[in-house]
């Protein structure tokens, strides 16, 4: 007998998994989401956040482009608060780019993407950051920025309100099977090591680049090609709208103004494992140099950090490599393909089309479960629950989405001055059992994502681990050190200029003033035992039956 | 060379914009006199570089608390990364004022020259009015000028007219142009007379070019266009001076505008050339001394005085030349009162909602002055002197005053 039972287990807490969880809950199907790390800690949270109009794919991958067009419009309806409607420019800076233009225009027309040629003078008037190299400009009003963290949290909260459960830091170690039917999963808590089993009628494998590893537990093969992309984060938005090179998609040809920062992306290199994502100086240099071709201010901005994500490209057996492969997705019905009932994988795709991917795989599972309710995710907005979203909404996004914010901010103290995070923005998350590290707080609030990369907010957050989560000082200190460490991993790739000086200040503050390394040295706790235990039952939110989102329930 | 094959680092990365240099070290917040005195001010770090990231969006403006910045510039003096904190705050203030409109009070205080001219023309009456409780009550109601704040006394004979009437001395070794500023012109002509006398005693010809308000009242009252207009007039006239003429200012804030802010904050064309020729009066006299040209034939001045270094003097980056000069004079017992900003910051402490804050900022200085019990407090800045007198009841003077006495002027 499994320890608990549910209807459907969704494995993977990225946008697709969160989307599937929401889709299931909207159809009234009981569901549990299992994620081995934190929500949006894999591919989704490491995307560059471009809400694709489809323009980027319209020549090489028209099917993906058409999906982007449709999904982009749906997301603007249902997930308005996660999107910055910046619009975008496609710019040509070389002869080759100019030669690409006719195909681009034709591709846009075929995919139904609005595309308007504007004069360079007009473009510069609207976007002074466009560089002197820019020769022609297309305006693509439907490009934008999609906040991947906010998107996943929004989906998860929406599902939780409907009774779905979320367990982070919970790895699937095996499956329960009866004959050729999956009847449950075996899990292990990454912190306590505690093993449990969950009985279910079906499992959705939404683990993206990790889908092959999960499928292997059932001795079936799912061929996903992990393709690394490196991105560089600049300290401010640089441009008002997204900027793409108008050419065959290549390295370093996108600039996305994302909330308070700009993200330069990206490279494309096949890697042996989705968690082996080295970042080389040449890649960082390439992002900056290519970006500087399109926009002024790229090479003079402060590079805050670099990070790498992994695309989960689905191998359809074609010859294609990396970018040549389709960004389309596929639903794998393992009952039909491998004779294993109650198991389906969703692979390929991209964040912009997450909802459609979730809908398709949920369609299959619901059909097998005999549930006839159709998907309503295209119509029901994420923020159908106002108060809940209010709590999520107060983020510097609202500064990026231009709005005078200062007076609203008032004179309350801030947790993170870089990203304008207030105490009440972080407080509810300390009560959420899905939140186990300060990195998790960062993903939900943006605390620590500004130029100082957690130098200051880290100790304020550590203090709140004590006051609001009831941890002892030693554990909170350990959590703070881990937080600084994960931030450092991204910062070290851009060690020059201000960010190098910043790192010195951060090191001086924590290692010398706070004597952090010594403090850790004399802790009895082993360094690996760094994750935080979940809040005690009854004081947390989410998870349990009545416990989900209690602060909302109390408002009602 | 290997760099030719691989390219150098600087092929990729250019020098960063100054705003990027902030490392959040918070040194600025620790010296900010306003942040030290009130909970409701977020401090220069937040209002300067941190908010500036968000101001790159044309529509977004982080404005709360911006008006609480008094403009002392200590943050910039302290910043180890040379972030031009004040410029960000001033520009944001100005942008906010352009969008929301300026109050009558801020308009009036931005036009201090106009105000002073009027005050000077009607001097006895204006001074009487400024000390009349009913008038002050009305001023507080209508203009938002705090009734307790003593306003400067105006004098009918301006420095400008005094200078024109006086006989011209014989040709000298050097010539300086004196930027006397509104204060000397309308309120403290005697200081200007002393400056002229001291320079002439040292064989320097003083000329007085036609001049406009330096513009700092306009800057701090969020009226940069006006400041730019004033500054432009001054730059044009001062650039018309012969190349060998240095420019002297006896007000630290006027001097700072000419030296630095015209070229940087206000971006006035030609201001760099003016800036390099500008010297604070004490800075100039000390340079004369170093060149062996200063007349050291001082009469002893028996006095025990305190010296308060104005915040804007610290921005000059010239140390405290007044203290060095006064130590040359026999009999002068001089001690620095190192208690930070006096709190008035020009027109800041005049405003009804900021008067209390201004007095609180200055309280440490006031305590120290009262405890020291000296003859007078010296300060190079006129509003510092007003504030110290108001806060302590002590006498206050420009350091030039002592020097003039040492040269036998009364």
Residue of chain B whose alpha carbon sits nearest to that of A293: B12
- With CB atoms and an 8 Å threshold, state whether B57 touches A411: no
Q: Which of A64, A79, A86, A74 is nearest to A144 (CA)?
A: A86
Parallel, antiparallel or unpaired: strands B204-207 and B174-179: parallel
- With CB atoms and an 8 Å threshold, state whether B25 touches A505: yes
Q: How many CB pairs below 8 Å do chains A and B form together?
A: 113
For A84-144+225-310, give the CATH class: alpha beta
Q: Is B64 on the interface with A (CB under 8 A)?
A: yes
pLDDT score of B89 = 92
**What is the average pLDDT across A101-129?**
95
For residue A260, which residues of chain B lie inside 8 Å, CB to CB? Answer: 53-54
Separation in Å, CA of B25 to nearest CA in chain A: 7
**What is the average pLDDT across B171-194?**
94
Asked if residue A555 has pLDDT above 60, the reply is: no
Residue of chain A whose alpha carbon sits nearest to that of B17: A300
Per-residue three-class SS string for chain B:
CHHHHHCCHHHHCCCCCHHHHCCCCCHHHHHCHHHHHCCCCCCHHHHHHHHHHHHCCCCCCCCCCHHHCCCCCHHHHHCCCCCCHHHHHHHHHHHHHHHHCCCHHHHHHHCHHHHHHHHHHCHHHHHHHHCCHHHHHHHHHHHCECCCCCCCCCCCCCHHHHHHHCCCCCCCCEEEEEECHHHHHHHCHHHHHHHHHHHHHCCEEEECCCCCCCCHHHHHCCCHHHHHHHHHHHHHHHHCCCCCCEEEECCHHHHHHHHHHCCCCCCCCCHHHHHCCEEEHHHHHHHHHHCCCCCCCCCCCCEEEEECCCHHHHHHCCCCHHHHHHCCCCCEEEEECCCCCCCCCCCHHHECCCHHHHHHHHHHHHHHHHHHCCCEEECCCHHHHHHHHHHHCCEEECHHHHHHHHCCCC
Higher pLDDT, A113 or B60: A113
- With CB atoms and an 8 Å threshold, state whether A411 touches B40: yes
Residues A128-173: pLDDT tens digits?
A: 999 999 999 999 999 999 999 989 998 998 999 899 999 999 999 9
Separation in Å, CA of B93 to nearest CA in chain A: 12
Asked if residue A121 has pLDDT above 90, the reply is: yes
**What is the average pLDDT across A404-430?**
73
For residue B11, which residues of chain A lie inside 8 Å, CB to CB? Answer: 289
- With CB atoms and an 8 Å threshold, state whether B59 touches A418: no
Residue of chain A whose alpha carbon sits nearest to that of B26: A456
For residue A232, which residues of chain B lie inside 8 Å, CB to CB? Answer: none
Q: Is A448 on the interface with B (CB under 8 A)?
A: no
pLDDT score of B384 = 97
Q: Would you tell me the crossing angle of helices B123-130 and B112-121 to the nearest 10 degrees?
A: 110
pLDDT score of B373 = 87
Separation in Å, CA of A119 to nearest CA in chain B: 22
**What is the average pLDDT across A506-533?**
76
Least confident range from A495-509, B24-38, B164-178: namely B164-178
> What CATH number does domain A4-43+149-223+327-369 carry, 1.20.1090.10, 3.50.50.60, 3.30.300.30, 1.10.10.10?
3.50.50.60
Higher pLDDT, A265 or A34: A34
pLDDT score of A391 = 44
pLDDT score of A322 = 61
| Mean per-residue pLDDT of chain B | 92
pLDDT score of A373 = 95
pLDDT score of A540 = 41
Least confident range from B41-55, B81-95, B303-317: namely B41-55
Report which secondary-structure segment, H or E, holds A531. none
Q: Which residues pair with A202 in a beta bridge?
A: A8
Residue of chain A whose alpha carbon sits nearest to that of B15: A300
For B297-406, give the CATH class: alpha beta
Cβ proximity of A7 and A164 under 8 Å: no
Q: Is the pTM of this model over 0.90?
A: no
For residue A410, which residues of chain B lie inside 8 Å, CB to CB? Answer: 64
For residue B56, which residues of chain A lie inside 8 Å, CB to CB? Answer: 236-238
Residues forming CATH 3.50.50.60 domain(s) in chain A: 4-43+149-223+327-369
Residues A432-467: pLDDT tens digits?
A: 899 999 999 999 988 999 999 999 999 999 999 999
- With CB atoms and an 8 Å threshold, state whether A402 touches B59: yes
Asked if residue B365 has pLDDT above 60, the reply is: yes
pLDDT score of A421 = 84
For residue A288, which residues of chain B lie inside 8 Å, CB to CB? Answer: 12-13
Q: Which of B304, B303, B239, B242 is nearest to B271 (CA)?
A: B239
Q: Interface pTM (ipTM) of the complex?
A: 0.84
pLDDT score of A405 = 39
pLDDT score of A549 = 34
For residue B21, which residues of chain A lie inside 8 Å, CB to CB? Answer: 498, 501
pLDDT score of B62 = 58
Residues forming CATH 3.30.9.10 domain(s) in chain A: 84-144+225-310
Separation in Å, CA of A148 to nearest CA in chain B: 21
> What is d(CA A492, CA A485) in angstroms, rounded to the nearest whole number?
10
Share of chain A above pLDDT 70, in %: 87
Residue of chain A whose alpha carbon sits nearest to that of B40: A411
Q: Which of A212, A298, A217, A218 is nearest to A255 (CA)?
A: A298
For residue A496, which residues of chain B lie inside 8 Å, CB to CB? Answer: 9, 13
**Residues 6 or more apart whose Cβ sits within 8 Å of residue B284:** B176, B246, B248
Question: Where do we find the tokens 């996305």?
Answer: A256
- With CB atoms and an 8 Å threshold, state whether B58 touches A402: yes
Q: What is the CATH number of domain B2-100?
A: 1.10.1060.10
- With CB atoms and an 8 Å threshold, state whether A399 touches B64: no
Question: Where do we find the tokens 């989307």?
Answer: A19
What confidence tier does B2 reach under pLDDT thresholds 50, 70, 90? low
Residues A352-409: pLDDT tens digits?
A: 999 999 999 999 999 999 999 999 999 998 876 544 444 444 444 333 322 333 445 5
- Looking at residue A421, the DSSP 8-state letter turns out to be B
Asked if residue A27 has pLDDT above 60, the reply is: yes
Residue of chain A whose alpha carbon sits nearest to that of B6: A282
pLDDT score of B54 = 79
What confidence tier does A114 reach under pLDDT thresholds 50, 70, 90? very high
A301: nearest CB among B12, B20, B57: B20
- With CB atoms and an 8 Å threshold, state whether A399 touches B17: no
- With CB atoms and an 8 Å threshold, state whether B57 touches A400: yes
| Mean per-residue pLDDT of chain A | 87
pLDDT score of A528 = 45
What confidence tier does B318 reach under pLDDT thresholds 50, 70, 90? very high
pLDDT score of A319 = 47
Q: Is A396 on the interface with B (CB under 8 A)?
A: yes
Asked if residue B141 has pLDDT above 90, the reply is: yes
A498: nearest CB among B14, B23, B54: B23
The tokens describing B219, both together, are: 């800057």
- With CB atoms and an 8 Å threshold, state whether B57 touches A297: no
- With CB atoms and an 8 Å threshold, state whether A497 touches B46: no
What confidence tier does A24 reach under pLDDT thresholds 50, 70, 90? very high
Residue of chain B whose alpha carbon sits nearest to that of A401: B60
A260: nearest CB among B17, B53, B63: B53
Burial (Cβ within 10 Å: 0-12, 13-18, ≥19) of residue B100: exposed
pLDDT score of A385 = 54
Mutate to test the interface with B, among A233, A304, A404 (most CBs of B within 10 A): A404
Residues B323-338: pLDDT tens digits?
A: 999 999 999 999 999 9
Q: Is B10 on the interface with A (CB under 8 A)?
A: no
Q: Is B98 on the interface with A (CB under 8 A)?
A: no
Parallel, antiparallel or unpaired: strands A83-84 and A50-51: unpaired
For residue B16, which residues of chain A lie inside 8 Å, CB to CB? Answer: 300-302, 497-498
Which A-chain residues 45-64 have CB contacts (< 8 A) with chain B?
none
- Looking at residue A178, the DSSP 8-state letter turns out to be E
Half-sphere exposure of A51 (CA within 13 A, CB side): 32
Which B-chain residues 127-186 have CB contacts (< 8 A) with chain A?
none
Asked if residue A10 has pLDDT above 50, the reply is: yes
What confidence tier does B53 reach under pLDDT thresholds 50, 70, 90? confident
Asked if residue A318 has pLDDT above 60, the reply is: no
**What is the average pLDDT across A84-88?**
91
């Amino acid at each position: 007998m499994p320890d608990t039972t549910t209807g459907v287990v969704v494995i993977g807490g990225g946008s697709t998994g969160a989307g599937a969880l929401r889709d299931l809950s909207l159809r009234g199907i009981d569901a549990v989401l299992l994620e081995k790390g934190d929500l949006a800690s894999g591919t989704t949270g490491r995307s560059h956040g471009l809400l694709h109009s489809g323009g980027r794919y319209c020549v090489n991958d028209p099917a993906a482009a058409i999906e982007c067009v449709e999904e982009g419009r749906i997301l603007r309806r249902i997930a308005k608060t996660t999107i910055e409607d910046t619009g975008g420019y496609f710019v040509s800076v070389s002869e080759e780019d100019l030669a690409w233009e006719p195909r681009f225009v034709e591709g846009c027309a075929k995919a139904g993407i609005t595309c308007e040629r504007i004069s360079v003078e007009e473009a510069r008037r609207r976007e002074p950051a466009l560089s002197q190299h820019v020769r022609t400009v297309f305006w693509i009003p439907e490009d934008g920025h999609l906040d991947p963290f906010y998107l996943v949290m929004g989906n998860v909260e929406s599902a939780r309100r409907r009774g779905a459960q979320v367990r982070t830091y919970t790895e699937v170690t095996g499956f329960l099977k009866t004959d050729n039917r999956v009847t449950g999963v075996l899990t292990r808590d990454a912190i306590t090591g505690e093993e449990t089993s969950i009985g279910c009628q079906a499992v959705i494998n939404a683990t993206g680049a990790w889908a092959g590893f999960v499928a292997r537990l059932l001795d079936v093969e799912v061929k996903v090609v992990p393709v690394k992309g490196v991105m560089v984060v600049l300290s401010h938005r640089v441009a008002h709208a997204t900027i793409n090179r108008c050419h065959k998609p290549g390295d370093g040809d996108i600039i996305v103004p994302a909330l308070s920062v700009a993200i330069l992306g990206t490279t494309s290199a096949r890697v042996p494992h989705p968690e082996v994502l080295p970042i080389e100086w040449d890649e960082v240099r390439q992002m900056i140099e290519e970006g500087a071709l399109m926009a002024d201010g790229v090479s003079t901005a402060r590079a805050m950090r670099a990070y790498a994500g992994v695309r989960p490209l689905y191998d359809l057996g074609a010859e294609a490599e990396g970018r040549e492969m389709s960004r389309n997705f596929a639903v794998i019905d393992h009952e039909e393909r491998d004779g294993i009932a109650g198991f389906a994988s969703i692979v390929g795709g991209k964040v912009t089309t997450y909802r459609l991917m979730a809908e398709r795989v949920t369609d299959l599972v619901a059909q097998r479960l005999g549930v006839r309710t159709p998907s309503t995710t295209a119509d029901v907005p994420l923020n159908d629950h106002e108060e809940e979203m209010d709590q999520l909404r107060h983020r510097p996004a609202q500064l990026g989405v231009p709005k005078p914010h200062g007076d609203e901010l008032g004179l309350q103290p801030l947790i993170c001055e870089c990203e304008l995070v207030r105490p009440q923005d972080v407080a509810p998350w300390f009560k959420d059992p899905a939140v186990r590290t300060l990195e998790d707080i960062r993903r939900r609030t943006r605390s620590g994502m500004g130029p100082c990369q957690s130098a200051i907010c880290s100790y304020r957050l550590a203090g709140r681990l004590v006051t609001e989560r009831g941890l002892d000082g030693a554990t909170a200190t350990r959590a703070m050190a881990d937080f600084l460490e994960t931030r450092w991993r991204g910062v070290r790739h851009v060690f020059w200029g201000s960010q190098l000086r910043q790192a010195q200040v951060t090191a001086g503050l924590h290692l010398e003033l706070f004597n952090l390394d010594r403090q850790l040295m004399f802790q009895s706790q082993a360094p690996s035992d760094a994750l935080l235990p979940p809040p005690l039952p009854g004081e947390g939110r989410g998870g349990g039956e009545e416990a989900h989102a209690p602060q909302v329930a109390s408002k009602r | 060379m290997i760099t030719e094959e691989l390219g150098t680092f600087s092929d990729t990365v250019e020098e960063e914009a100054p705003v990027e240099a902030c490392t959040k070290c918070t040194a600025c917040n620790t010296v900010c006199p306003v942040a030290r005195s009130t909970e409701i001010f977020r401090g220069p770090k937040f209002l300067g570089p941190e908010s500036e990231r968000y101001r790159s969006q044309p529509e977004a403006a982080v404005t709360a608390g911006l008006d609480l910045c008094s403009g002392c510039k200590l943050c910039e003096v302290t910043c180890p990364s040379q972030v031009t904190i004040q410029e960000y705050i001033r520009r944001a203030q100005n942008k906010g004022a352009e969008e929301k409109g300026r109050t009558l009070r801020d308009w009036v205080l931005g036009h201090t020259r106009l105000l002073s001219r009027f005050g000077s023309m009607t001097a006895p009456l204006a001074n009487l009015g400024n000390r009349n409780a009913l008038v002050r009550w009305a001023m507080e109601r209508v203009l938002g000028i705090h009734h307790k704040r003593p306003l400067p006394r105006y004098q009918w004979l301006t420095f400008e007219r005094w200078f024109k009437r006086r006989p011209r001395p014989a040709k000298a070794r050097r010539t300086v142009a004196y930027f006397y500023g509104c204060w000397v012109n309308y309120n403290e002509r005697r200081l200007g007379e002393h400056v002229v006398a001291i320079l002439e005693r040292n064989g320097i010809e003083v000329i007085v070019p036609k001049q406009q308000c330096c513009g700092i009242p306009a800057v701090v009252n969020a009226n940069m266009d006006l400041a730019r207009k004033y500054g432009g007039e001054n730059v044009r006239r001062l650039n018309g001076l012969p190349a060998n003429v240095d420019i002297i200012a006896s007000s630290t804030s006027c001097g700072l505008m000419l030296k630095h802010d015209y070229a940087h904050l206000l971006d006035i064309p030609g201001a760099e050339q003016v800036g390099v020729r500008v010297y604070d009066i004490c800075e100039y006299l000390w340079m004369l001394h170093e060149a062996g040209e200063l007349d050291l034939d001082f009469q002893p001045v028996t006095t025990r005085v305190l010296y308060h270094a104005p915040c804007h003097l610290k921005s000059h980056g010239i140390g405290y030349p007044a203290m060095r000069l006064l130590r040359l004079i026999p009999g002068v017992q001089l001690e620095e009162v190192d208690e930070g900003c006096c709190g008035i910051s020009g027109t800041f402490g005049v405003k009804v909602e900021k008067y209390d804050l201004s007095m609180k900022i200055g309280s440490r200085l006031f305590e120290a002055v009262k405890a020291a019990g000296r003859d007078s407090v010296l300060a190079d800045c006129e509003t510092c002197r007003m504030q110290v007198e108001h806060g302590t009841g002590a006498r206050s003077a420009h350091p030039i005053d002592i020097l003039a006495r040492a040269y036998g002027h009364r």
